[in-house]
Amino acid sequence: MSFEIEKIAGLARLHLKPEEAAKLKNDLEAILGYVKKLETLDTQNVSPTSHVLEIENVFRPDQVNPSQVRDEVLKHAPGREGNFFKVPKVVDK
Amino acid sequence: MNYEPVIGLEVHVQLLTQSKLFCGCSTKFGEEPNKNTCPVCLGWPGSLPVLNEEALKLALKVGLALNCEISGRLKFDRKNYFYPDLPKAYQISQYDNPVNGKGWLEIEYKPNKAVILSPDAEASKMENPEAQGDSQKVQDDKKMITKKIGITRAHLEEDAGKLLHEGIAAASLVDYNRAGTPLLEIVSEPDLRSPEEAYAYLTSLKAILQYLEVSDCNMEEGSLRCDANVSIRKAGESKFGTKAEIKNMNSFKAVQKAIQYEIKRQTDLLESHERVIQETRLWNETKGQTFTMRSKEEAHDYRYFPEPDLVPFSISKETVEGIRKDLPELPVQRVDRFIKNYSLSDYDALVLVQDKQLANYFETAVAEKANPKLASNWIQSELLALVNSNKHTVETLPKFFPATYLAELLGLIENQTISGKIAKDVVAISYESGKSPGTVVKEKSLEQVTDTKLLESAADKIIAAHPKSVADFKAGKRQALGFLVGQLMKETQGKANPKLANEILVRKLS
Ligand SMILES: [Zn+2]
């Protein structure tokens, strides 16, 4: 099983210490090993599960329901300017 | 070396719902920053998204109009990436079970002359058919090309927030009002082969969306966005070349220009034995060029997985058929009807129909007994020119010159009260003043002079004043007659009935 723990951590914006990386690598290997075992099962006639609950079609009607949480949220934001959230400068996508 | 461009378009269109895709926040444009936010669209832990039923219905309407396969089984997936405009650090989108699968769309255009829809500055330049019904129009010498363009899929997803960078040092500002607004991403197959085909595709698609009333399609407000995948390959080659993804175009014209530029750039690279790099490039409208998007982000690895917070959905055949039954008349059907009922050319029918309001205006005038062919010509030439020169829109046209006015004006031409030439002045005055054409004609005494006596005495005067032209005509120079008729028209301030003026002069000179 080959994967780069640093790459996965990078994608998740996690900064790992070397000992943490080593431990997580072991854990992930164990999980993937178990998945490998599952893959030996015959699933030919089993449809893929996309949700664990046996319900479907939960909708809401198209109605506006204002929550008015803005000021409360902005109060807890690391940075704000007026009614905007303020974040470190990003290059445009 | 000959190269063939291969183009695919990704169009994001905002669906016209009152509330967001997964929460009850309003989708209203232009609100105070962050006013339309809640725990769901801000991604607070413990909050749960619930699908807006109307958004799904609108998506299905589009799918049906684009002839898409609709399996009726759909689910949502998380697309993971970090960016400050995405509060949850993932976007709820659809990966392998989209609402709408493969479909197609028919485009129709004239080579080197894609139909211009909304009257922008170029419209009057592009289309200036003569106002008279009998005069041959320039654009009729080329045949319309019809082509089927494949749709890969059209799936639902939520929009991201908006970032502001300008004028702020060392920080970016975020407004999440748009985050969670329902979007339909419509992906075309790489079936387009020229910038004008891309333009025709966008105009057709926009017309469909407007007829369905599923979106405002306003590129300036961002309710319609378009990215283009462009590559080129040697003519006859079946393998695709390396593509570049072009973003940041804010009008259909800009999309056309950006693709044009990109084809040239890639051709130049290949001609000088360099390689095209797979990358995202941004269109710079002022410079008229595309530029590499500088980004330190690693290659995208979105790690899609099923959204566990939303249950799967299954839509019954009856529901889908019910929506199909309620679909309005679509542009392609209306074009057929215009050709059949009003004997318009393919081209005229298409120009009118692709702008729903223009087509409605036309049909109102025809209901008021306007001659369809004349009405179509006058709308496309004089009326759109007035709309453009006044920087108005088709939407406000009925306010300045109601369709009933057009019917009245054409009636005045047909019963020979005014000439086609004078009618142009009447339209301009009428548009400006709001007075009906009939009133304008009366007030300014613009009625055509059909009084034979009056015309005869004017003709005598002209003949006496231009002995040389008279001699030329008698010597067999036909052009001399044209000059004399012109003089007679001038003498009567353009009000002489041209046919009558012609007849009288010929009679007097022979
Ligand atoms: Zn919300």
Band the pLDDT of B132: cuts 50, 70, 90.
very low
Single pTM value for the model: 0.84
Domain range summary for chain B, segments of one domain joined by +: 3-323, 329-443, 452-509
Q: Cβ of A85 and B308 within 8 Å?
A: no
Chain B hits for A63, CB-CB cut-off 8 Å, are 18-19, 24
Helix (H) or strand (E) holding B388: helix B384-389
Q: If DSSP codes are grouped into helix, strand and coil, which group holds residue B330?
A: coil
User: Structure tokens of B478?
Assistant: 């036909």
User: What is the total residue count of chain A?
Assistant: 93
- The residue with greater pLDDT, B183 or A7, is B183
Chain B hits for A79, CB-CB cut-off 8 Å, are 171
pLDDT score recorded for residue B120: 41
User: Structure tokens of B365?
Assistant: 């005038």
**Contact B38/A at CB under 8 A:** yes
Q: Cβ of A69 and B33 within 8 Å?
A: no
Q: Cβ of B311 and A63 within 8 Å?
A: no
CA distance B338 to B332: 10
B450-B454-B456-B461 Cα dihedral, nearest 10 degrees: -130
**Contact B150/A at CB under 8 A:** no
Q: Cβ of A73 and B174 within 8 Å?
A: no
List pLDDT tens digits, range B220-231.
Answer: 888 999 999 999
User: Structure tokens of B337?
Assistant: 């009807």
Considering only CB atoms, A60 lies closest to which of B50, B164, B294, namely: B50
User: Structure tokens of B75?
Assistant: 């689910």
Residues 168..187 of B with a Cβ closer than 8 Å to A: which? Answer: 168-176
Alpha helices (H) along B326-369? 331-342, 346-353, 356-367
Q: Please state which of the ranges B297-311, B313-327, B405-419 shows the lowest mean pLDDT.
A: B297-311
Q: Cβ of A87 and B84 within 8 Å?
A: yes
B130: pLDDT strictly greater than 60: no
B123: pLDDT strictly greater than 60: no
B376: pLDDT strictly greater than 90: yes
What are the counts of helices (DSSP H) followed by strands (DSSP E) for chain B?
Answer: 18, 16
Count CB atoms within 10 A of the CB of residue B294: 8
Chain B hits for A10, CB-CB cut-off 8 Å, are 298
B452-509 belongs to which CATH class? mainly alpha
Q: Cβ of A51 and B311 within 8 Å?
A: yes
Mean per-residue pLDDT over chain B, rounded: 89
Q: Cβ of A65 and B32 within 8 Å?
A: no
Q: Cβ of A70 and B17 within 8 Å?
A: no
Band the pLDDT of B119: cuts 50, 70, 90.
very low
B371: pLDDT strictly greater than 80: yes
Chain B hits for A55, CB-CB cut-off 8 Å, are 311
**Contact A93/B at CB under 8 A:** yes
Q: Which residues contact B27 (CB under 8 A, 6 or more apart)?
A: B14, B17, B18, B19, B20, B36, B181, B182
Residue with tokens 């990386």: A21
pLDDT score recorded for residue A91: 64
Q: Please state which of the ranges B320-334, B398-412, B457-471 shows the lowest mean pLDDT.
A: B457-471
What's the whole-number mean pLDDT along residues A36-49?
Answer: 89
Question: Domains in chain A, please, with CATH?
Answer: 5-39 (1.10.20)
- The residue with greater pLDDT, B437 or A89, is B437
**Contact B50/A at CB under 8 A:** yes
Band the pLDDT of B294: cuts 50, 70, 90.
low
Alpha helices (H) along B401-497? 403-414, 420-433, 437-443, 452-465, 467-474, 479-491
Nearest Cα to Cα of residue B181 among B339, B57, B14, B44: B14
pLDDT score recorded for residue B342: 97
Highest mean pLDDT among B129-133, B136-140, B213-217, B417-421 belongs to B213-217
Q: How far is B324 from chain A (nearest CA, A)?
A: 20
pLDDT score recorded for residue B221: 84
Q: How far is A56 from chain B (nearest CA, A)?
A: 5
> Taking phi first (over 0 means left), then psi (-120 to 50 degrees means alpha), and beta for anything else, what does residue B217 get?
left
B197: pLDDT strictly greater than 80: yes
pLDDT score recorded for residue B122: 38
Query: Complex ipTM, two decimals?
Result: 0.88
Helix (H) or strand (E) holding B291: strand B289-292
Q: Please state which of the ranges A29-38, A67-76, B32-41, B115-124 shows the lowest mean pLDDT.
A: B115-124
B117: pLDDT strictly greater than 50: no
Band the pLDDT of B150: cuts 50, 70, 90.
very high
List pLDDT tens digits, range B405-457.
Answer: 999 999 999 888 888 888 999 999 999 999 999 999 888 887 777 777 888 88
List pLDDT tens digits, range B46-68.
Answer: 999 999 999 999 999 999 999 99
What's the whole-number mean pLDDT along residues B491-505?
Answer: 83
The DSSP symbol for B16 reads: -
- The residue with greater pLDDT, B454 or B136, is B454
